[in-house]
C-alpha cells in the first residue's frame, strides 16, 4: 500500500514564494493526527495533535510552545484547527465528565480560542446525543459573502453504536453552523441521504471535509471510504439548513481525502484541492 499526496494547483506560484523547513514539534506520547492553522494577519502558527497536545509559535519565536488543551467538556483527540478571519476555532472529540470511555463521545466539542498561549477559550457542545458516538469533525467558514460572513460550519460522523456489526446500527454525516451574531451553534441535522455501517471501515459513512468558495455559495465534499465515494452538495441560501442537491460521485482510487479552499479571488473550481489517498 502506498500513500500518495496530490495537489492540483491552479495557483502554482504559491510554491515558489519560500523554501520549506521541516521542524519536529513533538516526539513524546505518540502524537498523531496533527492539524495546523496560521493567523491570517499576525502569521502566528498553531498546531494540535492527539490526544490533547497544542503548540503555538508566535511571530518572532524560534520554537513552539507546547501546552495541554483543556475544555470543561473534555478533549480526546481528532483535532481540527481553523481560523474564521482572525478568530481561532478548535474542534475535537469530547471526553464528557462522569462518563465511561466510549460513552463520553456523546458530542463534538468546538472551542473558540481568544488566547492560545494562556488558553483563554469558550467551549460549545455540538450535536449532543447521549446514546450515539460523535466522531471525526471538520471545520470551515464563510469569509466571502456579505450575508453569511463569519459563519462557521462543522460536520462530523454519528455512529449508532461504534464498532457494531449489527446491520441495524448505522453511521451518518451530521452538520451544525455557528453564527457570530448569536454566538451559538445550531441544532444538528443529518446531511447525508444515505447511511453506512458502524465498523469504522470501508462501508462506514465517515471522514467528511468541507470548504466554502467565493462564487459557489456552499460546497461540501463529504468522503466516505469506498464504495460511497464523494458527496458534493451545493447548499441553498440557508447555508446548510437544506440538504437538497446532494450528488454522489464515485472517485476510483481515493479512500481518504481533505479539501482546502484558498481565497485568491477565484471560484472554488480553481482553488487548491489537496487529496491524500491510498492506492
Instruction: Please list the pLDDT of the chain residue by residue as tens digits (279 residues).
Output: 333 333 333 344 444 555 677 888 888 888 999 999 999 999 999 999 999 999 999 988 888 999 999 999 999 999 999 999 999 999 999 999 999 999 999 999 999 999 999 999 999 999 999 889 999 999 999 888 888 889 999 999 999 999 999 999 999 999 999 998 899 999 999 988 889 999 998 888 887 877 777 665 444 444 443 333 334 444 333 343 444 344 445 555 544 555 444 443 333 333 333 333 333
Q: Which CATH class is domain 3-14+31-278?
A: mainly beta
CB 134 within 8 A of CB 162: no
Amino acid at each position: 500500500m502506498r500513500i500518495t499526496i496530490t495537489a492540483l494547483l491552479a495557483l502554482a506560484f504559491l510554491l515558489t514564494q519560500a523554501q520549506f523547513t521541516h521542524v519536529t514539534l513533538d516526539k513524546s506520547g505518540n502524537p498523531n493526527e496533527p492539524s495546523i492553522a496560521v493567523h491570517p494577519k499576525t502569521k502566528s502558527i498553531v498546531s494540535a495533535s492527539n490526544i490533547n497536545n497544542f503548540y503555538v509559535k508566535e511571530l518572532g519565536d524560534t520554537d513552539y510552545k507546547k501546552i495541554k488543551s483543556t475544555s470543561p467538556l473534555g478533549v480526546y483527540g481528532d483535532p481540527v484547527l481553523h481560523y474564521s478571519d482572525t478568530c481561532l476555532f478548535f474542534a475535537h472529540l469530547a471526553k464528557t465528565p462522569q462518563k465511561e470511555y466510549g460513552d463520553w463521545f456523546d458530542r463534538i466539542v468546538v472551542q473558540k480560542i481568544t488566547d492560545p498561549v494562556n488558553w483563554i477559550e469558550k467551549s460549545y457542545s455540538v450535536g449532543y446525543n447521549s446514546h450515539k458516538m460523535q466522531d471525526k469533525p471538520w471545520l470551515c467558514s464563510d469569509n466571502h459573502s456579505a450575508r453569511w460572513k463569519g459563519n462557521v460550519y462543522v460536520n462530523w460522523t454519528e455512529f449508532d453504536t461504534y464498532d457494531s456489526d449489527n446491520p441495524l446500527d448505522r453511521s451518518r454525516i451530521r452538520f451544525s453552523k455557528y453564527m457570530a451574531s448569536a454566538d451559538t451553534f445550531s441544532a444538528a441535522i443529518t446531511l447525508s441521504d444515505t447511511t453506512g455501517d458502524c465498523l469504522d471501515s470501508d462501508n462506514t459513512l465517515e471522514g467528511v471535509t468541507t470548504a466554502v468558495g467565493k462564487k459557489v455559495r456552499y460546497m461540501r465534499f463529504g468522503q466516505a471510504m469506498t464504495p460511497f465515494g464523494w458527496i458534493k452538495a451545493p447548499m441553498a441560501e440557508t447555508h446548510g439548513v437544506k440538504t437538497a442537491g446532494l450528488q454522489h460521485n464515485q472517485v476510483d482510487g481515493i479512500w481518504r481525502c481533505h479539501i482546502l479552499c484558498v481565497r485568491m479571488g477565484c471560484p472554488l473550481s480553481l482553488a487548491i484541492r489537496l487529496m491524500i489517498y491510498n492506492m
